[in-house]
Structure 1
Amino acid sequence: MNQRTKFSIGITASILGCLAVGNYRPISQSISSIVSGSPAIAQAQPLKIIFPTRSGTTDLEKKAKAVTNFLSKELQQPVEAVFGDDTAAVEALRANRADVAFLSSRPALKAEQLANARLYLAEVRSTYSGGHTYKSIFVVPKNSPFKSGTDEATLNQLKGKKIVFTSPTSGSGFIFPVAELVEHKLVTDRDRLNGFFGQVTYGGGYEKALQAVLRGQADVAAVSEYTLGSPYITPAEASTLRVLYSISGVPAHGVAIDDDVPVGTRKQLIAAMLKLNQPANNQLLKSLYNSTELVEVNHDKHLKPIRDALQRAGMKP
């Protein structure tokens, strides 16, 4: 995004007090540092990182603060944690009210579109079958008459049945499953689901989608592979479910950095965040979102699967 445009947005947002996330510097300080162009003042401004609340996270503020304290020492400059959902995070990047954000794949595409921010790091979890990618899965009761498989016939068993998707914005819980149905020509796009399924509902989260199947309210649920266990459902509940069909290659969440962060600072930040992989620091990373490691990724390559899935499903980024 054009720097002049982004700074204008930042000034306007500060004057109007439109602070969607976090505690930002005083208006007079924001304006003086921009107008004067003083390097000393600019360097004194904290680097702001947005940490979104995710399912199963607890004490996020305390854990994020520990991470930013570590990064502050590594970078020798102030680093602040701010909080907001993915939508607020993207808007903050666009309006120059934040510099960095932990984002899932679709919001990362939106951050690129609106703020020219790019994903530089991806999270790795032990529950991700692909390291920094994971599977979208169709889940049914263990005693379901549907036969598990990997072909079109497997999905065709669901014609006329009741499905619960995680949410209409979920990558693994909606976008990838719909794209797969389109790929097999079972539906034409996201607006034709009712022509294939007997009933389409949305759980509003992984837990609720899975509970709908466990309680017999739906025949199948579309969720992420890592939800078949704590904190989403109990081991006992998981033992009564099985995977009907899976889709590989869903991009893991990652760390997006705004384009107005200087190249040198960006490289230092990435290096500092990669130090969270070291044994002495790794618990700081694990405590955030159960990630065991951060890995460097190419933004375009990492997010290509979600771009393609959105296109097949007839959805915009």
Structure 2
Amino acid sequence: MNKQFKLGLGIGSIVLAGAVAANISKIVQPIVTTLNVSPASAQAQTLKIVFPTRSGVTDLQTKAKAVTTFLSKELQQPVEAVFGDETAAVEALRANRADVAFLGSRSALKAKELANASLYLAEVRSNYSGGHTYKSVFVVPKNSALKSGQGKGTLSQLQGKKMSFTSPTSGSGFIFPVAELVRQKLVPDRDRLNGFFGQVTYGGSYDKALQAVLKGQADVAAVSEYALGSPYITAAEASNLRVIYSIAGVPAHGISIDDDVSASDRNKLIAAMLKLNQPANNQLLTALYNSTKLIEVDGDAHLQPTKVALQQAGMKP
């Protein structure tokens, strides 16, 4: 690779550009991996990878170093691991401090808008019902009188109920549920939820939104389907909950690459990342974020459901 690569990984909420500059300070001291780099490539520019924190992920620095060591060997180039949130990752793309980012779908849309970075790879998990897509679900206590179903009548039962969303920036925990309520003509947009629900709260995370239901503080919660298990809640807690409505097709997190990266270098990078799917290397991927596989996707098609949901909910990327 004859140009400097800077690879950013991020997940979490994305904010408007005005708030981005302050968030870039959240990136911390990097770990530089120069193992397995040949003398000929020792002069190559460092590849920078920003690994995001995610709920349930522990010992991230050690896991990230294992991945950067692998990529350093594959690309024959020094690789640097730094850590930050999605806001910092998108700002790094925009400011040419990074060329590649692992991002949630909403952040990937923002990266396309601000940095002209396109999404090329998507994560697959064993607990995603659609492989590289998953479901947003409305969850109630197991003994709730609310009936399960997939029509407007099911969601209309929620009128006047105490609702616990995950966070105002969560795809499966807010954006897709609100978009569905709008599509079913139960609410006009995200700003008038209080006119439908008796109470609206935000847990701040999947586990806290579900705990609100388990503790009787809310009648229903909106989360991802995979949150109904470890590390979010225990099996015993999950047995006391029930899904009454689901929304399929929520796009998985993926890898966006800036258009400044040449096609040749982009292909080399994608090939190196796809080698994490091989049995000998797969533990590096699964240990990092519980993804079992990376697959190539049409970025625009993959992100389209999130784009539509944002528009329906009256929100911007």
TM-score between the two structures when normalised by the length of structure 2: 0.87
Alignment partners' CA distance in 2, 1:208 and 1:20: 24
Alignment partners' CA distance in 1, 2:43 and 2:116: 22
SS of the residue 1:50 aligns to: strand
Question: 1:21 matched to which residue of 2?
Answer: 27
Q: Deviation per CA, 1:220-277: give whole Å up to 9, x if none.
A: 0000000000000000000000101000000000111122222211100100100100
Retained in 2: the 8 A contact 1:21–1:92? no
Question: 2:254 matched to which residue of 1?
Answer: 254
Question: 2:182 matched to which residue of 1?
Answer: 182
1:121 corresponds to 2:153: no
Question: 1:171 matched to which residue of 2?
Answer: 171
Alignment partners' CA distance in 1, 2:120 and 2:182: 30
Listed as ranges, the matches of 1:187-226 within 5 Å are: 187-226=187-226
Alignment partners' CA distance in 2, 1:294 and 1:41: 27
Alignment partners' CA distance in 1, 2:222 and 2:101: 27
1:286 corresponds to 2:286: yes
Retained in 1: the 8 A contact 2:277–2:293? yes
Shift of 1:85: 0.7
Retained in 2: the 8 A contact 1:49–1:99? no
Alignment partners' CA distance in 2, 1:53 and 1:220: 27
* Comparing 69-78 and 217-226, the one that deviates more: 69-78
Retained in 2: the 8 A contact 1:138–1:244? yes
Letter in 2 for 1:284: L
Cα gap change, 1:119/1:176 in structure 2, threshold over 3 Å: closer, same or farther? same
Retained in 2: the 8 A contact 1:165–1:174? yes
Alignment partners' CA distance in 2, 1:216 and 1:64: 39
What do you get for the CA RMSD once the two structures are aligned? 1.8
Higher Cα Rg: structure 1 or 2?
Answer: 1
Question: 2:9 matched to which residue of 1?
Answer: none
Alignment partners' CA distance in 2, 1:199 and 1:308: 26
Letter in 2 for 1:213: V
Retained in 2: the 8 A contact 1:106–1:171? yes
> Which structure has greater helix proportion?
1
Listed as ranges, the matches of 1:274-313 within 5 Å are: 274-313=274-313
Question: 1:154 matched to which residue of 2?
Answer: 154
Retained in 2: the 8 A contact 1:213–1:220? yes
Question: 2:62 matched to which residue of 1?
Answer: 62
1:143 corresponds to 2:143: yes
Question: 1:241 matched to which residue of 2?
Answer: 241
SS of the residue 1:231 aligns to: coil
Letter in 1 for 2:196: F
Alignment partners' CA distance in 2, 1:108 and 1:306: 10
Shift of 1:99: 2.1
Letter in 1 for 2:181: L
Q: Deviation per CA, 1:48-81: give whole Å up to 9, x if none.
A: 1221100000011111111111111111112221
Q: How many residues get paired?
A: 286
Question: 2:272 matched to which residue of 1?
Answer: 272
Cα gap change, 1:109/1:177 in structure 2, threshold over 3 Å: closer, same or farther? same
SS of the residue 1:48 aligns to: strand
Letter in 2 for 1:96: N
* Comparing 255-264 and 239-248, the one that deviates more: 255-264
Shift of 1:150: 0.5
Question: 1:44 matched to which residue of 2?
Answer: 44
Retained in 2: the 8 A contact 1:166–1:202? yes
SS of the residue 1:44 aligns to: coil
Shift of 1:19: 5.7
Question: 1:12 matched to which residue of 2?
Answer: none
Shift of 1:102: 1.3
Listed as ranges, the matches of 1:94-105 within 5 Å are: 94-105=94-105
Letter in 2 for 1:174: F
Cα gap change, 1:201/1:22 in structure 2, threshold over 3 Å: closer, same or farther? same
Alignment partners' CA distance in 2, 1:258 and 1:176: 27
Question: 1:27 matched to which residue of 2?
Answer: none
Alignment partners' CA distance in 2, 1:303 and 1:79: 28
SS of the residue 2:123 aligns to: strand
Alignment partners' CA distance in 1, 2:167 and 2:26: 24
Listed as ranges, the matches of 1:83-102 within 5 Å are: 83-102=83-102
